[in-house]
Amino acid sequence: MRAISMSSYVLITHTPWMEAPRVRHQIARLIAGAGHRSYFFERASYPWQAAGAPAEEVEPGITVVRSKRLLHHQVRVVPPLDWANSAIVLSEISTRMRELSIDPESTVINFAHDYHFLRRIFPGNRIVTVYHDDIEAQAKFPWFGHVTRSIRRTCRMSDEVLALSTPLVERLRAWCEPKLFLPWAIRTYSEPTGDPAQRHLLLYWGFIDVSMDTERVRAVCEHLARTRPSWRVMLVGPSQSAARRAATLANLEGIGNLDVLDQHPLSALPMDRVAAAFIPYRRKSDTDATELPNKSLQLLSYGVPILKSGMPAMIRRPFIVALDEGIGIEESIAACVQNFRAWQPAIRTFLEENSPAARLRALGIEPLT
């Protein structure tokens, strides 16, 4: 068998490492778990901001790297502003590469839709760009065309482009040949125990923020209060800001069977009481394109089915029940309870098909033997 030597991977992101884990964090951990090293360039700060230590090993095999940028992508609406920002970013990345003695031939995994200039410091490197569904939703001034311009140029400079949903694959096909790259199960399946009829909890686990359909949450809570008084709904997670959290929760005041918790890992929650994972999203551009929410595989690993709204592009499986496609609340909840045991083999198979090994192959990464 051919020996595989440890390699370095440079991850370019617009995401703080300490943010709730997203695909880019999980790719860093996937690489480290395969025996390689990741340099995670987190969201760059501005020149006038304190950025902390230039680099910090946060987990075995993962080093977070801090750098600077000049302007936020939402305001780089004309080419001269884009050029000025790129000059700062290129200088910062080059400096960190030298300071940390990062292999100059490292593969680059780029999550920044607007870093079309990376070829200037990685001229012969393999660059894989990963696009997520909210790239354009983050831009406040789309009429200037700068978001589309950046996406087009970044696609064209990349050796490979991966997209986290089929709608996004179609969106990017005008400029490249993107491949679908879905999230994967970071936790192996464990078969749930006990009587499913004794599970009386619907669990929302994710950002408590503007994407949540609070009207649907309230409707479900009110239905449970009338028909299943022993049942409760639990919302668990962080928010992008205290103001957004307050605004979201203000729409849910006065609900007696609703519990709200800050961010907790699933392992710290009463998963043996969960009848279904509850993902009530509003209809909006980024979630409309979502094919497989990152959180869904983690929830499924506990054997719980998913009760969702919004996300019309979400992958179709019997254990994913849509609340907003002509099925009533009671029918949807009853389906989850009655089929809880029968769906377990299908949930297990689905997780096995979406395994870490499958995603390593998609990234072209070979684990150390």
* pLDDT single digits (tens) 254-273: 999 999 999 999 999 999 99
Fold of 8-184+356-363: Rossmann fold (3.40.50)
Tokens 């979201």 locate to 248
Whole-number percent of the chain with pLDDT over 90: 69
Q: Say whether pLDDT at 289 is over 60.
A: yes
For residue 87, the surrounding DSSP H or E stretch is helix 79-99
For residue 180, the surrounding DSSP H or E stretch is strand 179-180
SS3 130: strand
Q: Return residue ranges of the chain for CATH 3.40.50.2000.
A: 8-184+356-363, 196-350
Q: Which amino acid type is present at position 118?
A: L
CA atoms of 285 and 255, how far apart (whole Å) = 29
Rank 1-5, 117-121, 357-361 by mean pLDDT and report only the highest. Answer: 117-121
1 confidence band (pLDDT: 50, 70, 90)? very low
pLDDT of residue 144: 59
Mean pLDDT for 187-191 is 92
Listed range (42-51, 124-133, 353-362) with the worst mean pLDDT = 42-51
Contact (CB, 8 A) for 272 and 296:
no
In this structure, how many other beta carbons lie within 10 angstroms of the beta carbon of residue 4?
14
Tokens 């729409």 locate to 251
Residue 106: half-sphere exposure toward Cβ, Cα within 13 Å: 26
Listed range (26-30, 129-133, 328-332) with the worst mean pLDDT = 129-133
Comparison of pLDDT for 282 and 286, the residue scoring more: 282
Tokens found for residue 46: 């501005």
- For the chain, helix (H) and strand (E) counts, in that order, are 11, 14
Q: How many residues make up the chain in this entry?
A: 369
Q: Distance between terminal CA atoms of the chain?
A: 9
Contact (CB, 8 A) for 249 and 238:
no
Mean pLDDT for 113-124 is 94
CA atoms of 349 and 352, how far apart (whole Å) = 5
Q: Name the pTM for this structure.
A: 0.84
CATH architecture of 196-350: 3-Layer(aba) Sandwich (3.40)
Residues 6 or more apart whose Cβ sits within 8 Å of residue 273: 198, 199, 200, 201
In this structure, how many other beta carbons lie within 10 angstroms of the beta carbon of residue 141?
12
Contact (CB, 8 A) for 253 and 219:
no
pLDDT of residue 325: 81
Average pLDDT, the chain: 90
